[in-house]
């Protein structure tokens, strides 16, 4: 009887261990740092628009940049600064969600490499460029192995086309958030190739600040529907931009 109970205990522990491993969610966020000199944007104050300075950049270190907003969030903890072998990535941060087994990797790309940022994001949405990071006895998979991929920054596709391997690699479901101006129009031809699900993207001009990203991610973690997640994004955008909820709903949409 004791042997049976011991065996049962081992089986239960292994089962819970496997469940814990399977329940890990990963998110990979690609941020093209705002860059007055190297991007086709309406110039912002020079301190915010230096694409080689993550610390003060509008999309990273400023109040509503990805790094600062997630560090200040009551829902996330910055657990690790990760060294990247890619010299185009100026800072790489790993966050953990406090109430779920969800990890978010955020990459700050040098703003002059916005084209490469776009390619890397799109290839990841096809399932490519997978890599792993070790943290607290876990091996976390990002790149094309992430469940959710996000792009934050200027929509460079308004000025250039990109070449890359965008054909869908496998049938694993991947969701995508693209916070950039008119991203539905410009990213659609590429996502039709990668087969990623456009969870939230935009129909017009917008400020790609991190409160919209965080609100959409909140819904994704809770397995809400695409329309519920888009509504979260719209509510957050209206709250901070005071643009009117109807306008925010027209701007932030899901699906094709």
Measure the CA–CA gap between 23 and 137, rounded to whole angstroms. Answer: 15
Indicate the SS3 state at residue 153. Answer: coil
Of 37 and 6, the one with more pLDDT: 37
Whether 46 and 37 have beta carbons less than 8 Å apart is answered as no
Measure the CA–CA gap between 135 and 164, rounded to whole angstroms. Answer: 30
pLDDT of 32 higher than 70: yes
The model's pLDDT over 40-51, given as tens digits with 9 standing for 90+, comes to 999 999 999 999
**Nearest Cα to Cα of residue 204 among 156, 250, 237, 160:** 250
pLDDT of 19 higher than 90: no
pLDDT of 1 higher than 80: no
What per-residue confidence (pLDDT) applies to 167?
97
What per-residue confidence (pLDDT) applies to 24?
96
What per-residue confidence (pLDDT) applies to 22?
52
DSSP at 177:
E
For residue 252, what are its two tokens?
Answer: 């932030």
What per-residue confidence (pLDDT) applies to 23?
87
pLDDT of 21 higher than 60: no
Burial level of 138, CB count in 10 A (0-12/13-18/19+)?
middle
Q: How many CA atoms lie less than 13 Å away from 239 in the CB half-sphere?
A: 11
pLDDT of 242 higher than 50: yes
pLDDT of 4 higher than 50: no
Which bin fits 34, alpha (ψ -120 to 50), beta or left (φ > 0)?
beta
Stretch among 16-30, 37-51, 107-121 having the lowest mean pLDDT: 16-30
The model's pLDDT over 167-216, given as tens digits with 9 standing for 90+, comes to 999 999 999 999 999 999 999 999 999 999 999 999 999 999 999 999 99
pTM for the full model?
0.91
Percent of residues, the chain, with pLDDT higher than 90? 91
Cα angle: 232, vertex 185, 39; to 5 degrees? 95
Can you say how many angstroms the Cα of residue 47 is from the centroid of all Cα atoms in its chain? 24
For residue 61, what are its two tokens?
Answer: 């270190």
pLDDT of 101 higher than 50: yes
What per-residue confidence (pLDDT) applies to 11?
40
96 has which bridge partners? 77, 103
What per-residue confidence (pLDDT) applies to 20?
46
Q: Where are the alpha helices (DSSP H) in the chain?
A: 2-22, 66-72, 114-125, 183-194, 210-221, 226-241, 245-251
What per-residue confidence (pLDDT) applies to 5?
42
Cα angle: 211, vertex 219, 26; to 5 degrees? 90
The model's pLDDT over 206-231, given as tens digits with 9 standing for 90+, comes to 999 999 999 999 999 999 999 999 99
| Mean pLDDT (the chain, rounded) | 93
């Amino acid at each position: 009887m004791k042997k049976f109970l011991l065996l049962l205990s081992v089986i239960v522990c292994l089962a819970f261990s496997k469940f814990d491993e399977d329940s890990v969610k990963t998110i990979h966020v690609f941020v093209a740092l705002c860059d007055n000199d190297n991007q086709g944007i309406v110039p912002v104050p020079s301190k915010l628009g230096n694409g080689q300075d993550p610390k003060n950049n509008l999309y990273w270190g400023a109040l509503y940049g990805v790094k600062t907003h997630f560090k200040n969030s009551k829902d996330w903890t910055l657990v690790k600064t990760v060294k990247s072998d890619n010299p185009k990535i100026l800072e790489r941060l790993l966050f953990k969600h406090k109430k779920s087994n969800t990890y978010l990797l955020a990459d700050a790309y040098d703003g002059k490499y916005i084209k490469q940022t776009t390619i890397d994001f799109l290839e990841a949405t096809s399932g490519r460029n997978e890599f792993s990071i070790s943290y607290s006895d876990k091996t976390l998979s990002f790149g094309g192995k992430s469940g959710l991929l996000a792009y934050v920054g200027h929509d460079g596709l308004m000025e250039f086309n990109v070449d890359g391997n965008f054909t869908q690699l496998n049938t694993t479901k991947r969701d995508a958030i693209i916070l950039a101006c008119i991203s539905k129009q410009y990213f659609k031809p590429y996502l039709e190739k990668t087969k990623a699900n456009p969870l939230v993207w935009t129909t017009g001009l917008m400020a790609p600040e991190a409160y919209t990203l965080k609100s959409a991610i909140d819904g994704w973690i809770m397995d809400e529907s695409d329309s519920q997640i888009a509504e979260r994004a719209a509510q957050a955008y209206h709250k901070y931009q005071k643009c009117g909820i109807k306008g925010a709903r027209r701007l932030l949409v899901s699906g094709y």
